[in-house]
């Protein structure tokens, strides 16, 4: 039987990518990583994709590499993370004498601060979803039964939103990590100037002044 390690479905501007090795808690192998790279490249190149929803089938989101444990870092690379109340976040690498990868050593201090980052990486402590939310590692915890409904609603909202603005926010926050405030103010000026010319910004301001909901097109 041929395994499809990542299920992809595009609807309402949302590309849903579902890690699909449920018998291994969606642990990464070469096939899964290759499929993820293919699908992310498609998401980048295809203008009809306006948001991506990443999740896993079965009981696990992603248990990491078949032998290591980088599943949590797949989630931390996302812009907004919703977690089921029963989900757990685990930097398991140190247990097999490795270190966090997939950006884990960068994401952790940027998400939860140095003290917690070092402890999580060195101790391999497993966090509950609620602990992760309190630390700012994930945006929101929701009940298990409503996770997919909430996440789908959020992804559709973003897909119907001013996507040029989201892209600019994403890029600006990426750059903020290494920019000085001075450089960042110039970046904001340039991005704001470009966004100010967009159809979505004109619509947003017009809708605000008319006190009606805006109809964004992503242009």
Partner 1 sequence: MTYDKITLSKAQGLATLTLNAPDKLNAVSRKMIAEIKQAWEEIGADGSVRAVLLTGNGRGFCAGADLSDPDRKNDADSGSALDKFFNPVIRTMRALPKPIVAAVNGVAAGVGMSFAMAADIAIAAKSASFLQAFSRIGLLPDGGSTWFLPRLVGEQRARALAMLAPQISAEQAKQWGLIWDVVEDAALMPTATELAHRLANGPTQSLARIKEAMNRAAQNDLSQQLDIERDFQRELGRTEDFREGVTAFLAKRKAEFKGK
Which spans of this chain sit near partner 1 (rule: CB under 8 A)?
A: 76, 79-81, 107, 110-113, 136-140, 154, 157-158, 161-162, 164-166, 168-170, 172-173, 176-177, 179-182, 184-193, 195-196, 198, 200-205, 207-209, 214, 216
Report the nearest approach of partner 1 to the CB of residue 2 (Å).
36
Sorted by sequence, the CB contacts under 8 Å of residue 61 that are 6+ apart come out as 19, 26, 55, 71, 74, 75, 87
Report the nearest approach of partner 1 to the CB of residue 165 (Å).
5
Report the nearest approach of partner 1 to the CB of residue 132 (Å).
9
159-182 per-residue burial string, b: 16 or more CB within 10 A, e: under 16: bbbbbbbbebeeebeeeeeeeeee
Report the nearest approach of partner 1 to the CB of residue 55 (Å).
17
* Alpha-carbon torsion angle 1, 73, 137, 109, nearest 10: 180
SS3 19: strand
CA distance 201 to 216: 9
Report the nearest approach of partner 1 to the CB of residue 73 (Å).
13
Other beta carbons within 10 angstroms of residue 20's beta carbon come to 17
Residues β-bridged to residue 141: 83
31 is written with which tokens? 């096939």
């Amino acid at each position: 039987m041929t395994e499809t390690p990542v299920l992809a479905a595009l609807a309402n501007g949302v590309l849903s990518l579902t890690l699909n090795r449920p018998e291994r808690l969606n642990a990464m192998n070469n096939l899964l990583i290759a499929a993820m790279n293919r699908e992310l490249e498609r998401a980048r190149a295809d203008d009809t994709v306006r948001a991506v929803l990443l999740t896993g089938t079965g009981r696990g989101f992603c248990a990491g590499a078949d032998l290591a444990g980088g599943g949590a870092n797949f989630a931390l690379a996302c812009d907004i993370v919703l977690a089921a109340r029963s989900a757990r976040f685990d930097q398991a690498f140190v247990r097999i004498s490795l270190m966090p990868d997939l950006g884990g050593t960068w994401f952790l201090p940027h998400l939860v601060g140095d003290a917690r980052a070092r402890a999580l990486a060195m101790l391999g402590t497993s966090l509950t979803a609620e602990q992760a939310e309190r630390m700012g590692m994930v945006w929101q915890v929701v009940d298990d039964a409503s996770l997919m409904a909430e996440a789908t609603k959020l992804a559709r909202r973003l897909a119907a939103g001013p996507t040029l603005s989201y892209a600019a926010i994403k890029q600006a926050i990426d750059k903020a990590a290494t920019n000085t405030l001075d450089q960042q103010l110039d970046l904001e000026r340039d991005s704001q100037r470009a966004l100010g010319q967009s159809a979505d910004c004109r619509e947003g301001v017009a809708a605000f002044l008319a006190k009606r909901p805006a109809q964004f097109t992503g242009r």
